[in-house]
Amino acid sequence: GESVGLHLPTLSVQEGDNSIINCAYSNSASDYFIWYKQESGKGPQFIIDIRSNMDKRQGQRVTVLLNKTVKHLSLQIAATQPGDSAVYFCAENRGSSNTGKLIFGQGTTLQVKP
Amino acid sequence: DAGVTQSPTHLIKTRGQQVTLRCSPKSGHDTVSWYQQALGQGPQFIFQYYEEEERQRGNFPDRFSGHQFPNYSSELNVNALLLGDSALYLCASSFTGALGTQYFGPGTRLLVL
């Protein structure tokens, strides 16, 4: 089926280090992207979003970068903490920004070592 | 302010049976989307409801149907269950002015034997 691709299935980082999770998308018409965090046994939790008219957006300890030229998205987590351990999904809103049909990647598991 | 709620949390059915899952959206949201998440996979879009009508649909068969009530809550129905329907079913709510910003419930884990 449709999907957005992530580069690595598992990322292991040391507590306190910065984490970078990457995502590639295929539809150049997509204009809205979201990162979700999913902990075991829970639904996806909204982290941060970005629209295609932006290259970068910052939140609390997180930054999303969008490179439309190569259709690449990344999530940077500063000073990674044990509570950041989870599966991270990028999702694109396929088509116009008002459709609400999110296409998800397969996820990257972030493991934080104490 | 309650977030998105779903019921039941877990469900076991046998092949051929029918199941109904329920979702209450976040306060102030009027749109409900349903997703299926197989183990180890990302969520797959099933369909979306707004103003009590199905507004758009993903690549799922007609065995999957839904409903939205006047209070914006929603149901997902699956008929003639198959083993492959075993998954986590997620409901996401949003406001029609910001459809991409969807907030997810905890999901219903369905096991088909």
Q: Where are the beta strands (DSSP E) in chain B?
A: 5-7, 10-13, 19-24, 31-37, 44-50, 53-57, 64-68, 74-78, 87-94, 103-104, 108-112
Count CA atoms within 13 Å of residue B46 on its CB side: 26
Q: Is the pLDDT of residue A88 over 90?
A: yes
What is residue A1's predicted lDDT score, i.e. its pLDDT?
43
Hey, are the CB atoms on A89 and B42 less than 8 Å from each other? yes
Residue B55, classed as helix, strand or coil, is strand
- Decide which of B78 and A1 is more confident: B78
Q: Which residue of B has its CA nearest to A98?
A: B99
Q: How does pLDDT run across A5-27, given as a tens digit for each residue?
A: 655 689 999 999 999 999 998 88
Chain B residue with minimum CA distance to A51: B100
C-alpha–C-alpha distance, residues B79 and A47, integer Å: 34
pLDDT tens digits along B2-27? 799 999 999 999 999 999 999 999 99
pLDDT band at A43 (very low <50, low <70, confident <90, very high): very high
Contacts of A86 in chain B (CB under 8 A): none
What is the rounded CA–CA span in Å between residue A98 and residue B11?
33
- Which of A49, A97, A102 faces B45 most closely, judged by CB atoms? A102
Asked whether the beta carbons of residue B94 and residue A104 sit closer than 8 angstroms, the reply is: no
3-state secondary structure A72-109: EEEEEECCCCHHHCEEEEEEEECCCCCCCCEEEECCEE
Structure tokens at A94: 């396929």
pLDDT at A96 over 60: no
- A88 and B CB contact within 8 Å: no
Q: What is the pLDDT of residues B22-46, one digit of tens each?
A: 999 999 999 999 999 999 899 999 9
Give the contacts of A98 (CB within 8 A, at least 6 positions apart): B96, B99, B100
Q: Side chain identity at A72, as an amino acid letter? A: H
* Dihedral over Cα of A43, A46, A50, A51: its sign: positive
Instruction: Write the single-letter amino acid at B5.
Output: T
CB contact under 8 A, A3 and B99: no
> Which residues of chain B lie closer than 8 angstroms to A102, CB-CB?
33, 35, 43, 45, 92, 100, 102
